[in-house]
Amino acid sequence: MNIAEAVATRRSVREFLDTPVPLATIERVLDQARMTPSGCNYQPWEAVVLTGAPLKALQDVLLAAKADDPLEYNWAAPGAYPEYQARLQAVGAAMYGALQIERADKAARTDFMQANLVSFGAPVLLLCHFPKFMKEPQWSDVGMWLQTIMLLLRGEGLDSCPQEYMGNYGRTIKAHLGLSADTMLFCGLAIGWRDDDAPVNHFKRERVPLDQQVKFIGFD
Ligand SMILES: Cc1cc2nc3c(=O)[nH]c(=O)nc-3n(C[C@H](O)[C@H](O)[C@H](O)COP(=O)(O)O)c2cc1C
């Protein structure tokens, strides 16, 4: 698979097959992803990767836990601005449409959001964290690392779903995994093989047209 195909075929998968993922595959991807660039070559990313019984044990803890109050970071903040709220609503409408969940059915929507806690059935969960003293540039470096992993996973025939939702349970996750309170639990990454029969893995995700995002200057 070339890079353009990996980019084009990556999507956030929200229903996985329960086929296990070999450790060697995950290690190969994470080893290759070490070449991700980062400002000052700080390489601020760290992670714990779980599968099998330890993953199930964490999920049981999460299902019994309440979300952090207050949250350690607010991943939904731009939603306060109408333009970004509209983008969230559009992807939500497409996703819940595929799931045949009505807009008014708040309970069903909440249940589906809670499916984040079991990573939509993915057999592997990567939990990405870094010291709390990291600032915006390093958060952005970590995003590049995650994208590199997601694209390399496509090269292995695998799929993923990034999961900021895990950040809602940062303190619970850190306590369960024995991570320092000075660590920021940023994001989960569900990893596995997509269930291609699941409609939730097929809805169209809209994107802003290029001419509204990028200005080209000085070209002929
Ligand atoms: C950093 C990050 C965190 C995300 N967190 C979640 C999440 O917690 N739960 C979820 O279902 N999707 C999550 N997503 C997926 C986004 O909703 C998705 O990327 C966006 O709607 C575009 O769809 P696509 O990834 O299928 O192209 C996250 C994506 C990113 C990049």
Ramachandran area for residue 218 (φ above 0: left; ψ -120 to 50: alpha; else beta): left
Cβ(87) – ligand 1 distance below 6 Å: no
* Least reliable range by pLDDT among 18-22, 58-62, 76-80, 84-88: 76-80
Q: Which domain holds residue 56?
A: 3-74+117-202
In a domain, residue 94? The reply is: no
Closest CA to 67 of 153, 168, 157, 181: 168
Task: Say if 96 falls within a structural domain.
Answer: no
Pick the residue whose CA is nearest to atom 10 on ligand 1: 163
208 pLDDT band, cuts 50/70/90, is: very high
**pLDDT tens-place string over residues 169-197:** 999 999 999 999 999 999 999 999 999 99
pLDDT confidence of residue 88? 95
Q: Residue 62: its pLDDT value, please?
A: 98
Using a 6 Å cutoff on CB, does residue 12 contact ligand 1? yes
Model confidence band, residue 140 (pLDDT cutoffs 50, 70, 90): very high
Query: How many domains would you assign to the chain?
Result: 1
pLDDT at 167: 97
How distant, in Å, are the alpha carbons of 26, 103, 180 from that of 172?
Answer: 25, 30, 12
Q: What is d(CA 130, CA 42) in angstroms, rounded to the nearest whole number?
A: 11
Atom of ligand 1 nearest to the CA of 75: 3
Pocket of ligand 1 contains residue 167 by CB under 6 Å: no
User: Is 91 within a domain?
Assistant: no
User: Mean of the pLDDT values across residues 55-60?
Assistant: 98
Euclidean distance between CA atoms 115 and 159, whole angstroms: 17
- Average pLDDT in the 130-151 region? 98
Quick one: pLDDT at residue 164? 97
The pLDDT value given to residue 84: 96
Task: Let me know how long the chain is.
Answer: 220
CB 47 within 8 A of CB 33: no
Is residue 135 one of the residues assigned to a domain?
yes
pLDDT at 31: 98
Ligand 1 and 142: CB distance under 6 A: no
Taking the alpha carbons at both ends of the chain, their separation in whole angstroms is 33
Residue 188 pairs with which residues in a beta bridge?
A: 127, 163
Mean pLDDT (the chain, rounded): 97
Q: What percent of the chain has pLDDT over 70?
A: 100
Residue 220 is assigned to a structural domain of this protein: no
Pocket test for ligand 1, best of 163, 187, 207 (most atoms within 8 A of CB): 163
CATH number of the domain where residue 57 is located: 3.40.109.10
Residue 149: predicted pLDDT: 99
Q: Cα of 162 to ligand 1 centre, how many Å?
A: 5
Per-residue pLDDT averaged across 88-116, rounded?
95
Torsion of CA 174, 177, 183, 187, to 10 degrees: -80
CB-ligand 1 contact for 163 (6 Å cutoff): yes
Q: Is the dihedral of CA 17, 22, 25, 31 positive or negative?
A: positive
C-alpha 191/C-alpha 107 separation (Å) is: 26
Q: Is residue 7 part of a domain?
A: yes
